[in-house]
Structure formats: structure tokens, C-alpha cells
Structure 1
């Protein structure tokens, strides 16, 4: 029986529920196995060594209690009847529905994580229990699809029979039949039009595993209906690699979304194939990567036509000896040939009145100076996300002059980005307007007044 989800915020701590106290070691072992398989769903920075142990949850002993602390990964973990949901730090406790809806919007604009549930998150369906919402969407979509458009496919088979069907496989016939005196056993290659094909086998396998994870009666019923329709299909273990080998006919475009969802579940289940009853399932992504990927996707899609070039993840070296790699998120060239370095910082900028640093860390400023020097530009833009419901503060520009660069003062501007909203359209319209303004040449009068 599934318990109510445990809710955590990024980098926050809470007590471990009674149901998990005796299974902490098992949970850590499971998360370690997930961590070792992490290349399935995102790319790492080769310059930063990855920790040997999983960074998703840390268990601490404090004041006689066992507590767990979330890292910078958000999503959910389902483990033996218990769901742990980790929300982005831009949201507060009790805002799971809003938080996961936004996570889906952000992933939809990115390219590093394939998230095939965008339609779910634009509707009114509740997503407070995120894993259950994903399973429900898959069940409803797939049942309607296979009921209205059953998928048959020509598949090549090699079979031994008493008559020629298709073409005779001469090599196999000589090896397995003729050499043993079984001249009447013909080995033939043929392509029957089958309902029992690889795609339906993948769908059936994924559906069977989701039945073990599902907790809602209506969703389970839809999954059982899918299994009933696919009763004639072989039930065999499938992997992500099986999904990649499937070539869909253009007349079955609806199955592309279904296949993407199957690929998603197979990527993130990490199930023990020897134990069909094991109920482990997780989806965890690093929020700094999600934020960076989302902003880059919006810039390319919504603002790109107004710019000359956009380079994402622009890498280079700080020194002439090609050591100390630098990697800014965006390198933008406008129509006039002016360059702008853009770097996203997934930090909540606490801009208090009288704070001359405007919530910008000294380390970040040092980093931006090196970016400006190596990219031969005097304009650098730092973009910070705003928590849900907050209004942006005024941009803050820092100016760095030097005797070495008398004519080229470096200007580093810190701005807040509105990456949340009541609707996806509201969020995008506000964000696009902010980005367009931020990419415009900064007024000379403003720069002069701020540098005094």
C-alpha cells in the first residue's frame, strides 16, 4: 500500500518517516545504483569530478532524530510503497502541484532531458502527486491509442516449416536441416503482418511494470485494459535500446508520443528485472542544469530571430597553456556585431536594501571577469531566477576598470528572471520581454551614471 508522498524542498531537511527508518540502508543502496546509471538522463561536466555516492538525499542524526536532507536534484523517488517528492527551491511547502507543473514547462524547452508529458502539464489535471500523474497520463493516452488505432507491423522472422514461405535461408537450411538429413525442414525468412510486434511488446512490458507502481484505482483499471487489448502480444523484458530500434510508419504518428513515454519509464525505473514485484521508480534532475537549459531554449526559440548568433555552452581556456577551462552558458552576438556573455546562476539573489553587492557573490563576479577577458567583450549578464510570486528588483550593474584596459571598462549586470507564472503563457510572455530588454545595448547614459 502506498503512503502519502513525503514532501521536501531543495536543500531543506525534514524528519525521516517511521515507515522508512528501518529501510534507510536499502534506500541509500537503491539511490547509489541510480547514481551510477545517471548518464542515462543527463550529461556531466567533465571538469568537475562526480561524487562516488549519490547526492540526492543525505541522512543525518540530529537531536536524537534521523533526518533527511535534499540535495540540488528535484523530482521524485518511489521506494517500496513510499513516495518522496523534492520540489525546486523557488517554491514553498504545499506547492507541489504548481512546482511540478513548472518543472514540466521548463523541461519542455530544454534539450538535455526528454520529457514527453508536456500536454499533461498544460491542462487542468492535478499533478501534486507527480509520479501518479505521469502514470495516469500514459494509461489514458495509450488505452485510447491502441483502442482506436491498433498497431500492426511487418516483422522479419526466421522459421523452420514444411513449405517455402518468403525466401529460403540457404545457409541456415544447410547448417540446421540438410546437414542432419532433415531435408524436408525448410528454413525460411519471411515478414508476416503482426500485432505481436516489438512496439506492442514494449508497451505491454512497460504497462505491466506500471501496474506494480500505480496506486489509483482508475489508473490501474486503464492499465489493466491495455493489458487485455495486448493479450496476444508476448510478454518479454524490454530495455531503452529496444525502443531505439523501433522504426514507426508515418501513418502512426500518435505512437511516437507513446514510444517516448515508454522510453522515459524504462530510463527512470531502474527496476530489478529478476523481481517483477519490486516497486522502485525515480525521476531526478539537477535544477541548475534544468534552469540553464530552459533559459537557453527560450532564448533560441523565442528571441533568436532578433540576434545574429547564439552559442550555447561555449567552452574555452582561461590560460594560454589550455588549462582552467571556462564554460559560459550563452555567447550572443547581436545584429550590430556586439558580443554579450550570458551566464545563468540558479541561486535566489537576496537583494537587501543597502547591500552594495546586490546579492551577487564575490566568486561569481571573479568568474564573470575571466569570461569577459577571454571572450573579448566588456558586457556580461548574470541571470538569477525569481521565486514563485515575487517581483523582480532593479538590475544592478558593476563596473570594472583597469590601467590595462583604459578604453574598455567591463560592465557586469545582474538581473532577476521571472521563470514562474500562473500559466505557461504568462510565464513565457514575461520572460521573453525581460530577455529582450536585457539583450539590448545598455544605454551609455546609464553606464556613465552608475560608474560615478
Structure 2
């Protein structure tokens, strides 16, 4: 089955030769992409079907349609390599790291060989990690909880259900209507794990992964099968008895219901695992900032604030609610607002705006007015055209005010000591006394 890889905003020409895709396969991928919640009103939010090419947009992940698959990787600058496959491997590692941070998962990638990062798609790598972690966990024993049961027995067990006893067994005192608790593996957490295994079995195309998933499906044979929409996520309790399952529960949410991605199947169109890079970058940076300011007197709120821009004169109703990506408060006062943008800014000296859009500036001015923040930052991914140094690139005063508006970048291609680097880049003055620890 042909497999293709693109980066964001790259195009794949139609054709039959190497480096191109047959128009009928492109049409299947486009039809699948249109089922995604990221497709938008026009249906082109994931893929654009142009006249002579297929173009990726700002959504990454894997689409698998009948007869082909397409992997879309983020546009992250990495060290140039003569082998394009090695470059793709590095980008996959960085994307998995971003997912792990954004979703608060501990995903160890050291056990995956360099060959696997080059040979497998993002989807197969994530499935591999999930299977390895789940296999280790079930070897230590499945989680169990006491579950309420009702049964008619010859000897009393638990308590007697008097209403049912006198209505159902009034003429047969040899049967007792019992209520009791029984330690069971057929609980919500295990049902979710079984649903994840079944779901991934439909998505994977790797023989090794399919073998692992078949073995896991056998382990979960006695667990009730529940359709994904009917899974009861609210019944899952993570406590000291099953703390080791926290990461697996998070990964199951990644595959089945996380807000950053959508999975779709049905009607023979195929399956997809997709992530919107704007939302992923926002969550990723938000969690890094939270770590960077841990242990200080600053409090970080993600997607908070919720103040309204306007109030109606007729009924005093509030409209146009704001949700800054990152609010940093001190002594209950907003000290800093950070808004993340997954797009490239310019470093040209003849471009005083640096490619920052006017609407982004207007948005930050609204935040300055509503939240009275003395400092606002538009934070972008770093790229090689900006030079070697990440951090703040330009500072401005909002006209007529002392409020500072700055543009800055963070290098997501380099995960080493990222929390420390973020502290130095964005908070050098306020954190001089804070001991620096690695990520």
C-alpha cells in the first residue's frame, strides 16, 4: 500500500510517478479529510484538493484511506540532513514530545530504535508506545474494583434485598435476593483500554503492531465490549492503587477523545488521527510556562480570564468573551499575558511588523485594556531565519500607554532543557533567584 509524507503547507502533485499521487487515491484522502472536525465549512481545513496537486494545511497526523495513507508532519526546522528520512524521524520525535507535554504524558522514546523512527509513521510509533506500556502494565495485573452485584442465591451473601425478596421469592424461600460487592476486572478503565485496543487494530497497518494488539485483545477477552461513544469516562478513578495506569488512561484519551485531535471512520472512507497545530502548540507552551514558573509567587492559568469585550445597552448582556492562551498573575493581578501563534514571523530589518498580523495586535490591545496587564507577548515557533537565539525579538509600547507588547519565539526543534531556556528567554528579571532545573 503506497504511503506518503508531507509537511504542513507542502503539496503532493497528481501523477503516477515517484513523488506523486494517483488522482483517485488523492480523492479518497480528501473525502476522508472532509469528515474531520478540522475540515471547516469548506471542507479544506485538513487537505486542499487543487487541480494538479494535494496540499496539506495546518493539521498534522495520519490519514489512512482505502489503498493508501498520508502522514502530515509539522513544519519544524531541524538540523539539515542529507537523508530526508532522518529529518522526518527527528520531526516525529519532536511531535511526540510535544504531545507528551501537552497531554501531560510520560512517553519514553529511548526504546524505539532510530530505524523505527525513520520507517514507521507517527501513528504506528504512537501505537507501538501504547502497546509496550499496556503490555508491561497487564503483566503486573489488571486494575480491579469492587462492583455492586445482585443475584439470587441459596445462601445469604452481603445484604438481603427485601423488596425483591418479597415480590420475586415470596413463594420460594429457598432463594435469597442478595446484594453484595464483588472485586471485578470488568470496570470502566479496563473497558476503555479494550476499546482503545480494538480501535487501534482498525487503524494500524504494521504487522508487528497488529500482532501486539491481537495479544492484548486476547487478554481483554473477558472485559465487556462497549462502543466508544458509550464509554463512561467519568467512572474512571485514578488513585494510589492504580497510579501506574495514569499514562495509559491519558494515551487512551489521545486516541479516542482528546480535544486536540479527531478520529473518524465509517462508510468505508478510512481512519484518521489528526492534531491541530495551533491548539497543540498553545497547550504545549502553556504547560512549559507552568513548569517554568513553578515554585514562584506567580500563578499560571491556561485559557482563563473569560472577560467580555462589550456589554449591551439594551439588556446589559455581555458579548465577545476573551480567552487568553496564558495568563500569569501575581497577588491576584494579571502581570503578563502570552498568546501563542503557530506561524512564522519575519526577521527582515525592512519589515517593521515582522509579519505579525494586524488582527493579532488588535487582539493583544483588547487584552491590555481588559486585563490591565503591563506586559503582553506574542509567542511564535522559532525558525532558522530568526538566527540562533530564541526569546524576545522586538518590543513595543502601545501608543499612549506604558504597556509593553513584545514578539518572541521558542525553539520546539530542540527539546533539551526547554523549561530552563524558556525561563531565561521570557522571565529573566523575575526569576534571577530561582534555581534552574532541567525539564
Distance 1:317 1:70 in 2: 35
| CA shift in 2, pair 1:20/1:207, >3 Å | farther
Alignment of 1:136-151 (within 5 A): 136-151=128-143
| CA shift in 2, pair 1:104/1:68, >3 Å | same
Distance 2:429 2:67 in 1: 47
- 1:435 and 2:435 aligned: no
Distance 1:190 1:136 in 2: 40
Distance 1:194 1:124 in 2: 34
- 1:385 and 2:381 aligned: yes
The answer for the alignment partner of 2:75 in structure 1 is 89
The answer for the alignment partner of 2:60 in structure 1 is 74
- 1:286 and 2:286 aligned: no
The answer for the alignment partner of 1:339 in structure 2 is 335
- 1:57 and 2:42 aligned: no
- 1:210 and 2:200 aligned: yes
Distance 1:316 1:379 in 2: 18
The answer for the alignment partner of 2:437 in structure 1 is none
Match of 2:411 among 400, 412, 418: 418
Bigger proportion of residues as helix = 1
Range that drifts further, 313-322 or 353-362: 313-322
Q: 1:86: Cα distance to partner?
A: 1.7
1:15-43 per-position Cα deviation (integer Å, ceiling 9, x unaligned): 368787446666555444441xx7xxxxx
Distance 1:300 1:174 in 2: 60
Distance 1:198 1:440 in 2: 44
TM-score of the superposed pair, with normalisation by structure 1: 0.74
Q: 1:257: Cα distance to partner?
A: 2.8
TM-score of the superposed pair, with normalisation by structure 2: 0.76
- 1:155 and 2:141 aligned: no
Range that drifts further, 297-306 or 317-326: 317-326
Alignment of 1:251-270 (within 5 A): 251-267=241-257, 269-270=263-264
Contact 1:380 1:413 in 2 (8 A): yes
- 1:12 and 2:10 aligned: yes
| CA shift in 2, pair 1:378/1:82, >3 Å | same
Match of 2:396 among 388, 395, 398: 398
Give structure 1 stretches of 5+ with no counterpart: 39-49, 442-452
Contact 2:144 2:184 in 1 (8 A): yes
| CA shift in 2, pair 1:187/1:433, >3 Å | same
Give structure 2 stretches of 5+ with no counterpart: 79-83, 313-317, 433-439
Contact 2:77 2:413 in 1 (8 A): no
Q: 1:434: Cα distance to partner?
A: 0.9
| CA shift in 2, pair 1:115/1:158, >3 Å | same
Distance 1:316 1:151 in 2: 43
| CA shift in 2, pair 1:102/1:89, >3 Å | same
| CA shift in 2, pair 1:184/1:239, >3 Å | farther
Distance 1:286 1:260 in 2: 18
Contact 2:25 2:68 in 1 (8 A): no
| CA shift in 2, pair 1:135/1:185, >3 Å | same
Q: 1:410: Cα distance to partner?
A: 4.5
Q: 1:98: Cα distance to partner?
A: 2.4
- 1:104 and 2:104 aligned: no
- 1:224 and 2:214 aligned: yes
Aligned length: 405
RMSD: 3.8
